Amino acid sequence: MITAQNLSRNYGNFVAVDGVSFQIAKGSIVGLLGHNGAGKTTIMKMLTGYLEPSAGDVQIDGINVAENRVAVQHKIGYLPENSPIYPEMTVCEYLEYVAELRDIPEEKRRSAIVQAISRTQLTEKATEQISKLSRGYKQRVGVAQAVLHEPEILVLDEPTNGLDPAQIIEMRKLIQDLSAHSTVILSTHILQEVNAICDRVLIISRGKLVLDSSLADLSAANAILLESDKNSKEVEALIGSASFVKNVIPATSNGGHRYLTKIEISAGSVSDDASADISKMLIERGGRLFSLRKEEKSLESVFREVSH
């Protein structure tokens, strides 16, 4: 379990991260989403112990990261936005160097390197000089060093940044494969990355956490569009007392006594059940139903709403 509590970081008078709190359960794939400069990288650095918070704290399995940095970093694999790989080394030489830095016992290094290379599909490039690799393969080398010590948590900062479309697809698949063994936290400013990889999203705007939601909850319908012969006041009089109705938005007229009304349903209500109840209540009370459909919010529309 990862717990961030009232996490803040100041640079002089500038507040980069402002009172951010969240919990991440084991086995999750969580996307930290926000515009460039929103505070994502600063949060990543505090989660991994490479930057101390100005206030608040991060705990991993109950261990304070700032107070036990070395111990906690054995649990974490970290891919910074600009991975510090050495272009003059081969892939194997670089991973040998990282294994030594991470104090992986000498008798276990070879098997650790072979496994990291295999998991990141670098076998054919293992003896090549890093400077000769494509951007996509260099990013794989960065991921390989992050998983070298078999961490419980993978923290990936903009892992698809600068990759071409084919490389992005390959990196997404790689991250999904790695998530079978590790909790994954990735930062990105690209909405499609979160939709394609993550099961939960944390949206950061101007250093604040403005949304924490599962992708399933975001995609669930939270409003119903009703086309009937009743205007908004009449619809509200007919169904407004129902427990699942949160709000009735004034109708627009489609002409010929046809009105389109938006009915917001309360959190936790099942939209299919609400639709059936609305239809039944309208018809039983003399209304004519022309159409009824769910309005689903996309991650893009939610992002626009909360990060303006």
Tens digit of pLDDT for each residue in 164-192?
899 899 889 999 998 988 999 999 998 99
Tokens 């705990």, located at residue:
59
Tell me: pLDDT of 249 over 90. Answer: no
Q: How many C-beta neighbours within 10 Å does residue 280 have?
A: 12
C-alpha span between 230 and 241 (Å, rounded): 16
d(CA 285, CA 273): 18
Domain locations along the chain: 2-218, 222-297
Could you give the CA distance from residue 14 to residue 308 in angstroms, rounded to a whole number? 19
DSSP 116-172: HHHHTT-GGGTTSBGGGS-HHHHHHHHHHHHHTT--SEEEEESTTTT--HHHHHHHH
Residues 148, 267: Cα–Cα separation, whole Å:
42
Distance of alpha carbon 150 from alpha carbon 300, whole angstroms: 34
> Is the pLDDT at 92 greater than 80, yes or no?
yes
Q: Please tell me the predicted confidence (pLDDT) of residue 132.
A: 95
In which residue are the tokens 């490039």 written? 125
Helix (H) or strand (E) holding 46: helix 40-47
Across the chain, mean pLDDT equals: 89
What local confidence, expressed as pLDDT, does residue 35 receive?
92
Cβ neighbours of residue 299 closer than 8 Å, sequence gap 6 or more: 191, 194, 195, 201, 215, 218, 219
Q: Among 3.40.50.300, 3.30.70.3100, 3.40.50.720, 3.20.20.70, what is the CATH number of 222-297?
A: 3.30.70.3100
Which of helix, strand or coil describes residue 109? Answer: helix
pLDDT at 58: 95
Residue 267's pLDDT band, with cuts at 50, 70 and 90, is low
Tokens 């050495």, residue located? 86
Q: Which of 34-38, 220-224, 244-248 has the highest mean pLDDT?
A: 34-38
Distance of CA 102 to the CA centre of its chain: 28
Which carries the bigger pLDDT value, residue 90 or residue 218?
90
Band the pLDDT of 142: cuts 50, 70, 90: very high
pLDDT over threshold 80, residue 253: no
pLDDT band at 271 (very low <50, low <70, confident <90, very high): low
pLDDT, mean of residues 14-21: 96
Task: State residue 264 phi and psi, 5-degree precision.
Answer: -80, 135
H or E stretch at 45: helix 40-47
Question: How does residue 257 score in pLDDT terms, banded at 50, 70 and 90?
Answer: confident
Helix 91-101 × helix 135-147 angle, to 10°: 30
The Cα–Cα gap between 32 and 100 comes to 31
Q: Tell me the mean pLDDT in the region 33-58.
A: 94
Structure confidence at residue 306 as a pLDDT band (50, 70, 90): confident
| 8 Å CB contact between 296 and 220 | yes
pLDDT value at residue 269: 60
Q: What are phi and psi of 97, to 5 degrees?
A: -65, -45
- d(CA 109, CA 59) in angstroms, rounded, equals 29
What's the rounded Cα separation, in Å, for the pair 124 and 82?
24
Residue 263 amino acid letter: I
pLDDT at 5: 96
3-class DSSP state of 1? coil
Is 245's pLDDT higher than 90? no
Q: What is the pLDDT of residue 221?
A: 58
Between CA 206 and CA 248 the distance in angstroms is 32
For 2-218, give the CATH class: alpha beta
Examine the pLDDT at 24 and tell me if it is beyond 90: yes
Q: What is the CA radius of gyration of the chain?
A: 25
Alpha carbon distance 294, 298 (integer Å): 13
